[in-house]
Amino acid sequence: MNSALSTFKVLTLGMLATVVATEAFSEEPKLSQKPKGATVEASKEEIESTIRILSGEWSKAMLQRDETILERIWATDFVYVEPSGRRFNKAEGIADMKKSAEKLTSAAASSIDVRVYGGGTVAVDIGDYKQVGQDKNGKPFDRLSRFTNVWILKDQQWQCVSGHASNVPPKP
Range of lowest pLDDT (15-19, 40-44, 69-73, 137-141): 15-19
CATH number of the domain at 33, please.
3.10.450.50
50-79: average pLDDT = 98
Asked if the structure places residue 64 within a domain, the reply is yes
* 144: β partners: 130
In the predicted model, is pLDDT for residue 163 greater than 50?
Answer: yes
Give the pLDDT confidence of 122-156 residue by residue, as tens digits: 999 999 999 999 999 999 999 999 999 999 999 99
Asked if the structure places residue 132 within a domain, the reply is yes
Q: Which range of residues forms the domain containing residue 122?
A: 29-167
Asked if the structure places residue 119 within a domain, the reply is yes
Better-scored residue on pLDDT, 105 or 7: 105
Give the pLDDT confidence of 75-112 residue by residue, as tens digits: 999 999 999 999 999 999 999 999 999 999 999 999 99
**How many domains does the chain fold into?**
1
pLDDT at 97: 96
The reported pTM is: 0.75
Extended beta strands in the chain, E state: 74-81, 87-89, 103-117, 122-134, 140-154, 157-167
Asked if the structure places residue 155 within a domain, the reply is yes
